[in-house]
Amino acid sequence: MSAHEAARLAQARAWLRQDPDPETRDELAGIITRAASGHEAAVAELEDRFRARLEFGTAGLRGEIAAGSNRMNRVLVAQAAAGFAAYLTERAAAGTTPTVVIGYDGRKNSRVFAKDSAEIFAGAGLNAVLLPRLLPTPVLAFAVRHLGADAGVMVTASHNPPNDNGYKVYLGGENHGSQIVAPADAEIAAHIERVAEQADVGAIPRSESYRIADEEVVDAYVSATAAVAPAPVGTAGLRWVYTAMHGVGWETASRVLAEAGYPAPWTVSEQRDPDPTFRTVSFPNPEEPGAMDLSFAKARALGAELVIANDPDADRLAVGIPDPSAEGGWRRLTGNEVGLLLGWRAARAATADGPAAPGASLACSLVSSPALAAVAAHYGLDFHETLTGFKWISRAPGMLFGYEEALGYLVNPETVRDKDGISAAVALLGLAAEARGRDATIADLLDEVAAEIGFFASGQVSIRVEDVAVIGRIMAALRQDPPAAFGGVAIEAAEDLLAAGDGAQAGDVLRYRLADGSRVIVRPSGTEPKLKVYLDAHADSAEAAQASIAALDTAIHALLDTLI
């Protein structure tokens, strides 16, 4: 056994001694035993689990539930909670005690991780408030502002595979309940590292003096969200299907819908209630192929006009509409199409009685469609393009609405500074009901927007990998030998955001602008082991825009085949 392998064994044994979870402890003990006997697969497994620590990414900590510093488990969560408590204590004003709110969804270990965190926050002398039961992520984001808390933690892995979990961190005060950004992420990570170096989570002080939040917090979220779009004339008789994708959305969404005055939907009963195994889908993500098949089947059988889906923690929204040209007669709108509709809605509302207030803006991530900028220009609004993630979008000045193409929408920035699939659903239902009142459909609304700003089309090439190092190699190859064209269309300008300067926000993103006005953006996913390539085109007709996307898609696949 090499010195490196012996060091890994010692590291794993130190971890084992402090692990309070019998499941992950037994799992790790077996791997250690096999590795000590020279079993190559076990040695490699230890290397993978302990070669690094999970880091704060686009959505905080997120990873597979298993033993090790590179996995999600009770040791890692305890270290994160203690480190975050130290950070909050350090930055608190003299004589004040920070308050932190903790929420959790229905995933495996979510409640355990949340309770561990509440006990550690309380043990550190903080005012810890645990939400009363499993709830959507937007309720936690709302609670941070509603309670005037200094911080919030949401235990969720959103739409990741079943055995993943995560730890999203929010800051109150001047951050207005948004997710953490630099330098807070690095400062928190440094505190966590100091806790981890002590290698004894059993010595971290704990207390059961945390408080369970009043139901008033949930009631307040329901009322604020229902007020986003009270049911207009034309709502009666609206036939639609809803799925919670085995997550926590239905209980809260049903209350919001009733208070807002919308007719109750048909629900996909197999996916309505929380189920950490997500048994009917390969991935509990409405973007994934097949994830909405049950919804569409129900819509076809019952003659629905619309399908609405939340992801498991209800911070994302997916929308399906009838489409005779699509397989099965239904299609899911892209995130850009929904973002365009909701942005158009916000722009019209802001200018209904005259010019919008100075500084009023629309915002989206840099990988989202340029169509939103066109809407902003058409209605005389400011526009902001940000790095990917709502931790950036939520900070756009004067924002009336913000979105990212991965089905995330922020329609009520005065109450929730994060993507919110429930408030977005209410806003979308309001649009559908208004259109219905004049015998129009969601598809008709998309045509109306195109008549104002032109025809935009988007596409995406997404490659999931087993080894994330593959993604790094592809990005390095593109930087070392940049392409000159895609599909015969020359690249006029190329930007590497890792080298961004002059105050620009840097990120691992490559952006190409082509001679025909189309755009290609390449970046690693911040939440999954994926490389994502975003395609955008603008043309004089829908057919021309789609043809441009099809040509780009073919060219990107051909290029990636040579790099993988």
125 and 2 within one domain: no
Report which DSSP code applies to 57.
B
Provide the 10 A C-beta neighbour count for residue 147.
Answer: 21
Whole-angstrom Cα distance, residue 399 to residue 356?
Answer: 12
Mean pLDDT of the chain: 94
State whether 210 and 164 are in the same domain: yes
For residue 350, give the CATH number of its domain: 3.40.120.10
Q: Which of 478, 465, 483, 549 is nearest to 509 (CA)?
A: 478
Q: Is the pLDDT of residue 299 over 50?
A: yes
Is pLDDT of 502 > 70?
no
- Over 90: is that where the pLDDT of 534 sits? yes
Same domain, 59 and 198: yes
Q: Please report the pLDDT score of residue 234 as a whole number.
A: 76
Q: Whole-angstrom Cα distance, residue 228 to residue 411? A: 8
| Rounded average pLDDT over 20-34 | 96
pLDDT confidence tier of residue 59, bands split at 50, 70 and 90 = low
Q: Residue 503: its pLDDT value, please?
A: 44
pLDDT band for position 498 (cuts 50, 70, 90): confident
Rounded mean pLDDT of 373-386?
97
Question: What are the φ/ψ torsions at residue 192 (nearest 5 degrees)?
Answer: -65, -40
Q: Tokens 């392409």 belong to which residue? A: 483
Q: Please tell me whether residues 389 and 309 are part of one structural domain.
A: yes
Q: What tokens appear for 500 in the block?
A: 């961004």
**Band of the pLDDT at 536, cuts 50, 70, 90?**
very high
Is residue 532 within 8 A of residue 522, CB to CB? The reply is yes
Q: Looking at per-residue confidence, does 57 or 551 come out higher?
A: 551
Which of 105, 142, 100, 180 is closest to 417 using CA atoms? 142
Catalytic annotation, residues: 158
pLDDT category at 388 given cuts 50, 70, 90 is confident
Q: How many domains does the chain have?
A: 4
Both structure tokens of 329? 């007669």
Q: What's the mean pLDDT in 291-308?
A: 97
Averaged pLDDT, 60-66: 92
The reported pLDDT for the residue numbered 57 is 59
How large a percentage of the chain has pLDDT more than 70?
A: 98
Instruction: Please report the pLDDT score of residue 525 as a whole number.
Output: 85
Whether residue 289 is found in the same domain as residue 423:
yes
Choosing from 33, 51, 69, the residue where a domain stops is 51
* pLDDT tens track for 449-469: 999 999 999 999 999 888 888
pLDDT-derived band at 504 (thresholds 50, 70, 90) equals very low
Residues 522 and 555: beta-carbon distance below 8 Å: no
Q: What is the pLDDT of residue 563?
A: 86
Q: Which domain holds residue 130?
A: 55-214
One domain for residues 264 and 205 = no
Domain check: are 254 and 354 in the same one? Answer: yes
Amino acid at 50: F
User: Is residue 324 domain-shared with residue 239, that is, in the same domain?
Assistant: yes
Nearest to 296 by CA among 307, 305, 286: 307
Name the DSSP letter for residue 486. E
Contact (CB, 8 A) for 250 and 280: no
pLDDT digits 0-9 by tens, 213-240: 999 999 999 999 999 999 998 799 999 9
Confidence of residue 139 (pLDDT cuts 50, 70, 90): very high
Is residue 278 within 8 Å of residue 284, measured between CB atoms? Answer: yes
Same domain, yes or no: 292 and 353: yes
Residues 321 and 447 in one domain: yes
pLDDT over threshold 60, residue 41: yes
Q: Among positive and negative, which fits the CA dihedral 18, 23, 28, 33?
A: positive
* Residue 497 and residue 402 share a domain: no
Closest C-alpha to 276, from 246, 300, 303: 246
Q: Which amino acid is at 269?
A: S
In a shared domain, residues 412 and 309: yes
Among 405, 435, 453, the domain-final residue is 453
pLDDT reading at 367 higher than 70: yes
DSSP codes, 292-340: THHHHHHHHHHT-SEEEEE-TTS--EEEEEE-TTSGGGEEEPPHHHHHH
Strands 178-179, 164-171: pairing is antiparallel
222 within 8 A of 142, measured Cβ to Cβ: no
What's the pLDDT tens digit per position in 390-419?
A: 999 999 999 999 999 999 999 999 999 999
Confidence tier at 315 by pLDDT (50, 70, 90): very high
Which of these ranges, 215-229, 341-355, 414-428, 550-564, has the smallest mean pLDDT? Answer: 550-564
Last residue of a domain, one of 155, 181, 214: 214
Cα 171 off chain centre by: 17
User: Residue 527 maps to which CATH number?
Assistant: 3.30.310.50
